[in-house]
Amino acid sequence: MAEEAILGFLQNNEQITDSGQFSAEFNLDHNEVVNVIKSLHAFRYIDVQDIKKETWVLTDEGKKYAAEGSPEVQLFLAVPEEGSISKDELQKKLAPSVFKIGCSQAGKNKWVEMGKQVSRKVKHVEDKVKGQLLQIQEGKESDKDSINSLKARKLIVPQIWKGYSVKKGPNYAPERKKVATDLTRENLQNWKELEFKEYNFEAKGAPLEAGHLHALLKVRKQFKDIFVQMGFEEMPTNNFVESSFWNFDALFQPQQHPARDSHDTFFLKVPSTTRTLPEDYVERVKRVHESGGYGSRGYNYDWKREEANKNLLRTHTTAVSSRMLYALAQKPFVPKKYFSIDRVFRNEAVDRTHLAEFHQIEGLICDRGLTLGDLIGVLKDFFSRLGMSKLRFKPAYNPYTEPSMEIFSYHEGLGKWVEIGNSGMFRPEMLLPMGLPEDVRVIAWGLSLERPTMILYGIDNIRDLFGHKVDLDLIKRNPICRIGI
């Protein structure tokens, strides 16, 4: 309708000067006319120019007076033609706001005598305010004075009206040609008669319904790439269930250590114990716990096999490292660089930064004669690839490393040193019972995957990152991960 009217009008006329007037003349909805104008313009059937006009619309109060009359007239009519009415009586006859505004306006107009008694001062009044409001409501022009007084009384507010003036465009035709948009069989058969719609290379494609990587997976990939660039091999971490032996005992962690309590560790009910352990190695581990050896005094307690047999959800990926080092010790020695990134479990109270499960990133290097200097050097290399080049180390304690160091990095954004990981050199009490040569040293470090991910993606509650409360939309919209650039 609107399209025919516009194209038809332009066939015989130079231009449409005002889309608003045009709509009114042809009895068309202006919004519809605007939509058609935009569409015709996009195909260059027409050229357009914006028109902006300030118009006035009635406020709710204005609409009310336009329908019911101004308060001053309502008040005037409530006063008897002859005699007077008490102010109280008059108040009862009118709505509170009408009474209040009516009194002041009718007083100002000198229509009524206001005292304890109210009486008319003139015979007849004209409701100019209502008249002016109706005029605006109907879209007619009003004079400056009435606009100003209605504006001051907050009965009208300005509104920007947008319309267009329209002329023929370079592709003008009295009727829009249907263009083919699809390469269907039929369209290809009579392509000579058809006009095809041009490709719009600027258009956004429809969003693809596809799988999306979780932020943790994206950051994990970056860490993996760094390890691989540094020549590390990935350790097999595909067992969440581990025996206490590999998780703790092999790491020279005494059986009465608080981390081995059920308050800190999840133990399995079924199967509650492991089936097999390498017996001769178990014997050496028992001995080093009880009475030491290899230059150590041990812990001096009765080591219990039942405690070592207990199955648990691994509390750190260092359990995997201990298995790998033991396996390495069973063959002629070759130096190795290993890493792993996988899930671990701890019986923790859940809060903004802790869950009962998280991911650990772990790296280790095993070679003859390594020193603490090597560990510091490797850590500097590793973390500088993550964009963290200001590092500091603080002496710490782990049952399985000596010396041990916490790793701190200067966070430019936070303006302070933040702890980013833990590291150390595995103790001889751990390595020698495995059967590794005496001069072999192992340097190792670990950190969580969640912490850097939360920093990189600006997430401050771990429950927004992992678990059933995660917003899937967020995962779809997360940008690719770039670290260390």
Candidate residues 105, 247, 318, 340; the one interacting with ligand PHE per rule CB under 6 A: 318
Query: What distance separates the 2 farthest-apart alpha carbons in the chain?
Result: 124
Q: Which C-beta is closer to ligand PHE: that of 64 or that of 427?
A: 427
316 binds ligand PHE (CB under 6 A): yes
398 binds ligand PHE (CB under 6 A): yes
- Of 46-65, binders to ligand PHE (CB under 6 A) are none
What's the min distance (Å) between Cβ of 254 and ligand PHE? Answer: 16
Q: How far apart are CA 197 and CA 178, in angstroms?
A: 9
Residue 340 backbone phi and psi in degrees, to 5: -150, 150
Q: How far apart are CA 355 and CA 469, in angstroms?
A: 13
445 binds ligand PHE (CB under 6 A): yes
Q: Which C-beta is closer to ligand PHE: that of 107 or that of 399?
A: 399
In 3-state terms, what secondary structure has residue 305?
helix
Q: Which stretch binds ligand PHE (CB under 6 A): 109-117, 231-239, 442-450, 464-472?
A: 442-450
249 binds ligand PHE (CB under 6 A): no
What's the min distance (Å) between Cβ of 396 and ligand PHE? Answer: 9
Strand partners, 52: 162
Query: 13 Cβ partners below 8 Å, 6+ apart?
Result: none
- Half-sphere exposure (Cβ direction) of 485: Cα atoms closer than 13 Å: 5
What's the min distance (Å) between Cβ of 423 and ligand PHE? Answer: 5
Q: Which stretch binds ligand PHE (CB under 6 A): 72-80, 141-149, 421-429, 476-484?
A: 421-429
Residue 213 backbone phi and psi in degrees, to 5: -85, 135
3-state helix, strand, coil in the chain (%, to 5): 40, 25, 40
Q: Which stretch binds ligand PHE (CB under 6 A): 67-75, 123-131, 291-299, 441-449?
A: 441-449
423 binds ligand PHE (CB under 6 A): yes
Q: How big is the site for ligand PHE, counted in residues (CB under 6 A)?
A: 11
What's the min distance (Å) between Cβ of 260 and ligand PHE? Answer: 13
What's the min distance (Å) between Cβ of 346 and ligand PHE? Answer: 9
Determine how many CB atoms are found less than 10 A away from the CB of residue 80.
12
In 3-state terms, what secondary structure has residue 438?
coil
Q: How far apart are CA 427 and CA 133, in angstroms?
A: 91
What's the min distance (Å) between Cβ of 453 and ligand PHE? Answer: 17
What does the DSSP assignment read for 225-286?
Answer: HHHHHTTPEEPP---SEEEHHHHTGGGT--TT-GGGSTTTSPBPSTT-B-S---HHHHHHHH
What's the min distance (Å) between Cβ of 317 and ligand PHE? Answer: 7
Q: Which C-beta is closer to ligand PHE: that of 298 or that of 424?
A: 424
Q: Which residue is nearest to ligand PHE (CB)?
A: 446
446 binds ligand PHE (CB under 6 A): yes
CA distances from 450 to 343, 380, 465 (A): 11, 21, 8
Q: How far apart are the first and last CA of the chain?
A: 58
Gyration radius of the chain over CA positions: 42
Q: Which stretch binds ligand PHE (CB under 6 A): 121-129, 229-237, 284-292, 418-426?
A: 418-426
Candidate residues 23, 322, 340, 422; the one interacting with ligand PHE per rule CB under 6 A: 422
Q: How far apart are CA 240 and CA 320, in angstroms?
A: 10
What's the min distance (Å) between Cβ of 262 and ligand PHE? Answer: 18
Candidate residues 73, 75, 444, 459; the one interacting with ligand PHE per rule CB under 6 A: 444
Which contacts qualify for 279-285: CB closer than 8 Å, 24 or more apart? Answer: 281/326, 281/433, 281/434, 281/435, 282/245, 282/308, 284/433, 285/245, 285/249, 285/250, 285/433
What's the min distance (Å) between Cβ of 363 and ligand PHE? Answer: 8
In sign, the C-alpha dihedral spanning 215, 219, 224, 225 is positive
What's the min distance (Å) between Cβ of 400 and ligand PHE? Answer: 7
Q: Which C-beta is closer to ligand PHE: that of 244 or that of 401?
A: 401
Task: Note whether 45 and 172 are within 8 A (CB).
Answer: yes
> What six digits make up the tokens of 457?
């993606």
Q: Which C-beta is closer to ligand PHE: that of 398 or that of 409?
A: 398
Q: Which stretch binds ligand PHE (CB under 6 A): 97-105, 189-197, 215-223, 443-451?
A: 443-451
What's the min distance (Å) between Cβ of 361 and ligand PHE? Answer: 9
- Of 343-362, binders to ligand PHE (CB under 6 A) are 362
Candidate residues 62, 298, 424, 452; the one interacting with ligand PHE per rule CB under 6 A: 424
What's the min distance (Å) between Cβ of 275 and ligand PHE? Answer: 25
Task: Note whether 345 and 240 are within 8 A (CB).
Answer: yes
Q: Which C-beta is closer to ligand PHE: that of 286 or that of 316?
A: 316
List of residues contacting ligand PHE (CB under 6 A): 316, 318, 362, 398, 401, 422-424, 444-446
